[in-house]
């Protein structure tokens, strides 16, 4: 019998990626591998959630810094990643959507030179209904002088990211990441317990045919935003309109589709959220890094999303992200609002 040609595992890919850097010490690979383990644990929990609904589904008694009710699976994912990553020795400090304040690393575990920002579980409103959810992460190098890291380490602009990625718990579990050398995707094979390379060097189409936005907010939008969506709905064969509308309500799922098929995902500022809804550090910046590395574009409508300097850990920005030509068209319409 011939040996099976097993594809590159994620662990191998990360190691080869790191090997390309002369100054590599192995810490970066180590860190990504720890995130990978957390992803496997959360993936198992998400996949069997319905079987232990009482314990895993529904809301906790807690409300997070954003005023949102914390779901049991949000809390589980957050605790899982934090406990695992605090022990890894590669991190100086962490920030998470579910923690008001920066998360420190206990002395006994030792500290490293990296900084991690997390959305432990994205798409909370879809947890209980078996719709795709995910985990988003963003990695920086520590810039503060002390060993323990400081808030300034968590407030770096997206253009300083060393790596970013997401794990999508969908019809299959996929791990997508960039370390600044293209975007690579891996699919989890539960029978061997490994992520295997399934989407090498992902490139986003320059122009798509799908738009993704919560249109329920239409009456809260600016004129430019309304006009842009109306434009996408007009019939014009030559420019591929009308676009299709697709909105899952989990950024990870909407972004994954946008990355593979092209088009635009947006969460605009509106009258009830004048700064937008999505958080810069652990939602917008990592997704912007991934989409730019795939040849796309990410904007606040006015400027490159990765150039925004965060003023606070849980800062929000408006986001327009996806195919380059689509994002540029959105920016043109939004210029009317200025």
Which residues of the shown chain bind ligand AHG in the complex (CB under 6 A)? 68, 97, 119, 122-125, 214, 249-251, 277
Task: Name the residue nearer to ligand AHG (CB basis): 113 or 279.
Answer: 279
Tokens 């579910």 found at: 98
Kindly state the smallest distance separating residue 283's Cβ from ligand AHG, in Å. Answer: 7
By CB under 5 A, the residues from 54 to 113 that bind Mn ion are 97
284 binds, among Mn ion, ligand AHG, none (CB under 5 to 8 A by kind): none
Q: Indicate whether 45 belongs to the interface with Mn ion (CB under 5 A).
A: no
Task: Name the residue nearer to Mn ion (CB basis): 39 or 112.
Answer: 39
Task: Name the residue nearer to Mn ion (CB basis): 65 or 335.
Answer: 65
Kindly state the smallest distance separating residue 97's Cβ from Mn ion, in Å. Answer: 5
Task: Name the residue nearer to Mn ion (CB basis): 231 or 265.
Answer: 265
Kindly state the smallest distance separating residue 135's Cβ from ligand AHG, in Å. Answer: 10
270 binds, among ligand AHG, Mn ion, none (CB under 5 to 8 A by kind): none
Q: Indicate whether 34 belongs to the interface with Mn ion (CB under 5 A).
A: no
- 8 Å CB contact between 286 and 166: yes
Kindly state the smallest distance separating residue 248's Cβ from ligand AHG, in Å. Answer: 8
Kindly state the smallest distance separating residue 276's Cβ from ligand AHG, in Å. Answer: 10
325 binds, among Mn ion, ligand AHG, none (CB under 5 to 8 A by kind): none
Q: Indicate whether 254 belongs to the interface with Mn ion (CB under 5 A).
A: no
Kindly state the smallest distance separating residue 168's Cβ from Mn ion, in Å. Answer: 12
Task: Name the residue nearer to ligand AHG (CB basis): 28 or 265.
Answer: 265
Backbone angles phi, psi at 269, to 5 degrees: -70, 150
Task: Name the residue nearer to ligand AHG (CB basis): 202 or 251.
Answer: 251
Q: Indicate whether 326 belongs to the interface with Mn ion (CB under 5 A).
A: no
Q: Indicate whether 122 belongs to the interface with Mn ion (CB under 5 A).
A: yes
Strands 210-212 and 264-267: parallel
Backbone angles phi, psi at 159, to 5 degrees: -70, -5
Kindly state the smallest distance separating residue 281's Cβ from Mn ion, in Å. Answer: 11
19 burial type by CB count under 10 A (0-12 exposed, 13-18 middle, 19+ buried)? exposed
102 binds, among ligand AHG, Mn ion, none (CB under 5 to 8 A by kind): none
Nearest by Cα to 203 from 186, 184, 177, 188:
184
Task: Name the residue nearer to Mn ion (CB basis): 134 or 205.
Answer: 134
Kindly state the smallest distance separating residue 97's Cβ from ligand AHG, in Å. Answer: 6
Task: Name the residue nearer to Mn ion (CB basis): 94 or 121.
Answer: 121
3-state secondary structure the chain: CCCCCCCCEHHHHHHHHHHCCCCCCCHHHHHHHHHHHHHHHHHHHHHCHHHHHHHHCCEEEEECCCCCEEEHHHHHHHHHHHHHHHCCCCEEEEEECCCCCCEECCHHHCCCCEEEEEEEEECHHHHHHCCCEEEEEEEEECCCCCCCCCHHHHCCCHHHCCEEEEEEECCCEEEEEECCCCEEEEEEECCCCEEEEEECCCCCCCCCCEEECCHHHHHHCCHHHHHHHHHHHCCEHHHCECCEECCCCCHHHHHHHHHHHCCEEEECCCCCCCCCCCEHHHHHHHHHHHHHHCCCEEECCCCEHHHCCCCCCCCECCEEEECHHHHHHHHHHHHHHC
Task: Name the residue nearer to Mn ion (CB basis): 139 or 278.
Answer: 278
Stretch that binds Mn ion, among 32-40, 118-126, 220-228, 308-316 (CB under 5 A): 118-126
Query: Which residues of the shown chain bind Mn ion in the complex (CB under 5 A)?
Result: 97, 119, 121-122
């Amino acid at each position: 019998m011939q040996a099976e040609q097993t594809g590159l595992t994620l662990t191998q890919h990360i190691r080869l990626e790191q090997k390309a850097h002369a100054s590599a010490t192995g810490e970066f690979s180590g860190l990504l591998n720890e995130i990978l383990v957390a992803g496997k644990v959360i993936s198992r929990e998400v996949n069997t959630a319905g079987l232990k609904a009482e314990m895993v589904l529904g809301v906790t008694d807690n409300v997070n810094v954003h005023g949102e009710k914390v779901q049991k699976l949000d809390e589980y994912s957050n605790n899982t990643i934090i406990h695992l990553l605090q022990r890894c020795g590669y991190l100086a400090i962490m920030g998470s959507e579910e923690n008001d304040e920066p998360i420190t690393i206990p002395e006994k575990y030792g500290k490293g030179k990296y900084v991690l920002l997390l959305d432990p579980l994205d798409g909370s409103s879809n947890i209980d209904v078996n719709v795709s959810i995910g985990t988003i992460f963003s990695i920086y190098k520590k810039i503060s002088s002390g060993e323990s890291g400081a808030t300034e380490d968590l407030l770096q602009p997206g253009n300083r990211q060393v790596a970013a990625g997401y794990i999508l718990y969908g019809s299959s579990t996929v791990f997508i990441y960039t370390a600044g050398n293209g975007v690579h995707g891996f699919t989890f094979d539960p029978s061997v317990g490994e992520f295997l390379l399934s989407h090498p060097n992902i490139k986003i189409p320059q122009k798509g045919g799908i738009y993704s936005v919560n249109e329920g907010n239409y009456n809260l939008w600016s004129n430019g935003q309304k006009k842009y969506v109306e434009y996408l709905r007009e019939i014009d064969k030559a420019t591929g309109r009308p676009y299709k509308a697709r909105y899952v309500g989990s950024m990870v799922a909407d972004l994954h589709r946008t990355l593979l098929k092209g088009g635009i995902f947006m969460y605009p500022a509106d009258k009830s959220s004048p700064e937008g809804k999505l958080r810069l550090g652990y939602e917008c910046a990592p997704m912007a890094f991934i989409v730019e590395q795939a040849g796309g574009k990410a904007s606040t409508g006015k400027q490159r999303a990765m150039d925004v300097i965060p003023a606070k850990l849980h800062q929000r920005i408006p986001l327009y992200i996806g195919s380059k030509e689509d994002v540029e068209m959105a920016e043109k319409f939004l210029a009317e609002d200025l």
